[in-house]
């Protein structure tokens, strides 16, 4: 409620101090702008994943190698007035402790889901946008990232299965060397513990 008052105050001050701008927006347009600022059904869908999770990581050291597995734990909570889903997790990969943080959201302006990811396996962040296939129940995010191992910018996908609020099924896939398909590199499975 406090945030709504702050936003409305900001809009009022902005419009009062700039009468030309205020005249450019009709009451209908102001209502639409206000609606764009508030969470919607897509944010409600993300909210259902709030809680603590027991995770299992499945990852490959190379595309042609069998996957390795290790346990982990995660916590999901909605932040910034239910506008974004914050997913923090800890686990082990390649004998090292790994922490990660992902922020998922839905941008009502462009009508796409967004994701930003950070982890202790690097000093960079990745981001992607995507749409939900409602029939399959999967959000597919797509992005690009420079990969030093291949000395080129590669496409990747992140897929989040939204069919079961008590299970997590999240995968990271990299573009194959020939660019014809996406191959799984990391898969995170989880079950709700609280």
For the chain, the domains span 2-38, 43-192
Locate tokens 């299965």: which residue?
A: 161
In this prediction, residue 2 carries a pLDDT of 55
Average confidence (pLDDT) per 10 residues, the chain, 194 residues: 53 52 73 86 96 94 82 97 98 89 97 96 94 95 88 93 96 89 93 91
| 180: helix, strand or coil | coil
Which CATH superfamily, name and number, covers 43-192?
Calycin beta-barrel core domain (2.40.128.20)
pLDDT for residue 70: 93
Going by C-beta distance under 8 Å and a sequence separation of 6 or more, which residues neighbour residue 124? 145
Q: Counting beta carbons within 10 angstroms of the beta carbon of residue 15, is it exposed (0 to 12), middle (13 to 18) or buried (19 or more)?
A: middle
* pLDDT for the residue numbered 95: 83
Locate the DSSP E strands across 135-181. 138-147, 152-161, 167-175
pLDDT attached to residue 94 = 78
């Amino acid at each position: 409620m406090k945030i709504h008052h702050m936003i409305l105050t900001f809009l009022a001050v902005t419009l009062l101090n700039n009468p030309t701008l205020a005249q450019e927006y009709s009451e209908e347009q102001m209502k639409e702008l206000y609606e764009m600022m508030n969470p919607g059904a897509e944010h409600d869908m993300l909210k259902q994943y709030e809680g603590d999770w027991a995770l299992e990581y499945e990852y490959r050291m190379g595309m042609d190698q069998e996957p390795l597995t290790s346990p982990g734990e995660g916590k999901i909570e909605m932040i910034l007035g239910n506008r974004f889903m914050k997913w923090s997790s800890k686990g082990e990969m390649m004998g090292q402790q790994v922490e990660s943080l992902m922020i998922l959201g839905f941008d009502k302006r462009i009508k796409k889901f967004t994701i930003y990811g950070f982890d202790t396996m690097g000093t960079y962040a990745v981001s992607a946008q995507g749409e939900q296939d409602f029939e399959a129940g999967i959000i597919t995010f797509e992005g690009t990232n420079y990969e030093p191992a291949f000395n080129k910018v590669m496409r990747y996908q992140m897929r989040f299965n939204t069919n079961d609020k008590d299970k997590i099924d999240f995968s990271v896939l990299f573009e194959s060397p020939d660019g014809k398909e996406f191959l799984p590199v990391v898969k995170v499975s989880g079950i709700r513990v609280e």
